[in-house]
Amino acid sequence: VFKKLKKKKKKMLLRLDRSMSSVTIPPPACMLRPLEVPLRYLFGPGPSNVPPRILAAGSRPIIGHLHPEMYEIMNDIKKGIQYAFQTENNMTIAMSGSGHAAMECAVFNTVEPGESVLIAINGIWGERVAEIAERMGANVHRMVKTPGRYFTNTEIEQHKPVLLFLAHGESSAGLCHPVDGIGDICRKHDCLFLVDTVASLGAAPIFMDKQNIDILYSGSQKALNAPPGTAPISFNDRACHKMFNRKTKPVSYLFDMTHLSNYWGCDGKPARVYHHTGPVSGFFALRESLAILAERGLEESWEKHKEVAAYLYRGLEDLGLKLFVPERDLRLPSVTTIAIPEGYDWREMLTYIMKHHCIEMTGGLGPSIGMVMRIGLMGYNCEKTNADMALHALADALKNCKKSKA
């Protein structure tokens, strides 16, 4: 009886405490349930599935973002990026953020209000960079082609900007743009060459130093297979001279390379000063993904993506599907685009594939919406067995989704 009275008294005191509390909004019911995440095969343009080794690295105990051990890990990341980019640039770091963070960092630090920039637009990423540059006051000139088409070096040389942007891996269209010779043109006209390799790094050859690329950036979540949230970027001496001799401060404090270069130990100063709290677990995962790439070797990674992509192409053609980029050498090995099958609703097909096969494939993005469906097999997912899964799911969707008679 005493125990029952004591328990009852405790409940009454608890109710009294709640009634006297200043909290008027109760805990949301969803937060009182455990987290549930479905298993999905991520065969879209990214993010890709993360291998167990990288997941394990990201789950290691947190350490302070300014601890000496963290600096060692950041130094390792820098060396891993230099290998992946094929560069000896000292000014090589990983942004705390997705590929968009690196995109903004590149533009904000090397372009000042009123300066002219030339943006090659043949998909969504050129559109994004153009908007970013306009927002910070640059004079933006656009070269535009339909998704899947590329620019010749002669077309590029007709302009005289301070910076030229080009997407090496235009994932919205499945195009891998030729880069050779463009860096030489930019140097001839004292123009910085900015290249996006978010969708192509590790999947298609890129040589930052040999190809005279002044600024190169990528993302963690595609062929590198790390979780989204970190973005490698590198600046050569030409780019550093431009960004560290500005008349005005960059519009972003977070992306100011004056501070980030110190945080990453790239400015030659003996001490690193607090700037922001980097994504510690994200850096663990990025380091591990770069280690896997180094162990495997770039050439082997490039060849594997090329081989699996060719296998996928044959399977798609056997299904009667048309590859969107006709020139085989211009296809992005990591993200394959197919023309939407005539008479089919692409949204219905993708929904069917997700529902019945737990596979993510996607439609177009930006200017390629309504033109393509996209299949991504990159890094950890770059296997013929996964290509077979994707082909089986597509065949099933073609058989069971409604086709218009028109």
**Using one digit for the tens of pLDDT, what is the confidence trace for 248-286?**
999 999 999 999 999 999 999 999 999 999 999 999 999
Q: What is the pLDDT along the chain (406 residues), one digit of tens a residue?
A: 666 666 766 766 666 565 567 889 999 999 999 999 999 999 999 999 999 999 999 999 999 999 999 999 999 999 999 999 999 999 999 999 999 999 999 999 999 999 999 999 999 999 999 999 999 999 999 999 999 999 988 888 877 899 999 999 999 999 999 999 999 999 999 999 999 999 999 999 999 999 999 999 999 999 999 999 999 999 999 999 999 999 999 999 999 999 999 999 999 999 999 999 999 999 999 999 999 999 999 999 999 999 999 999 999 999 999 999 999 999 999 999 999 999 999 999 999 999 999 999 999 999 999 999 999 999 999 999 999 999 999 999 999 998 885 5
Closest CA to 94 of 242, 229, 276, 193: 229
Question: Which residue has 């937060």 as its token pair?
Answer: 31
Closest CA to 365 of 306, 324, 327: 324
CATH topology assigned to domain 52-296: Aspartate Aminotransferase; domain 2 (3.40.640)
The one-character DSSP state at 198 is: T
Instruction: Return the HEC string of 234-303.
Output: EECHHHHHHHCCCCCCCCCCCCCHHHHHHHCCCCCCCCCCCCCCCCHHHHHHHHHHHHHHHHHCHHHHHH
Segment 171-203, tens digit of pLDDT = 999 999 999 999 999 999 999 999 999 999 999
Question: Which residue has 């053609």 as its token pair?
Answer: 317
The one-character DSSP state at 344 is: B
Residues 333 and 377 sit within 8 Å (Cβ to Cβ): no
E strand or H helix at 175: strand 175-176
Q: What is the pLDDT of residue 187?
A: 95
Cα separation, 277 vs 281, in Å, equals: 11
CB environment 25-52: b (16+ within 10 A), e (fewer): eeeeeeeeeeeeeeeebbbbbbbbbbbe
Integer CA distances (angstroms), 405 to 306, 356, 371, 397, 402, in order: 37, 25, 19, 17, 9
Closest CA to 168 of 159, 160, 178: 178
- Report the predicted TM-score, pTM, of the whole model to 2 decimal places: 0.91
Q: What is the pLDDT of residue 325?
A: 97
Cα separation, 279 vs 284, in Å, equals: 9
Specify the CATH number for 298-400; select among 3.30.465.10, 3.90.1150.10, 3.10.20.30, 3.30.1300.10.
Answer: 3.90.1150.10
Binding residue per annotation — 60? no
Q: What is the pLDDT of residue 21?
A: 72
**Bond prior to 279 in cis (omega within 30° of 0):** no
Instruction: Say what the alpha-carbon torsion angle 120, 121, 122, 125 is, to the nearest 10 degrees.
Output: 110
| Domain-wise residue ranges, the chain | 52-296, 298-400
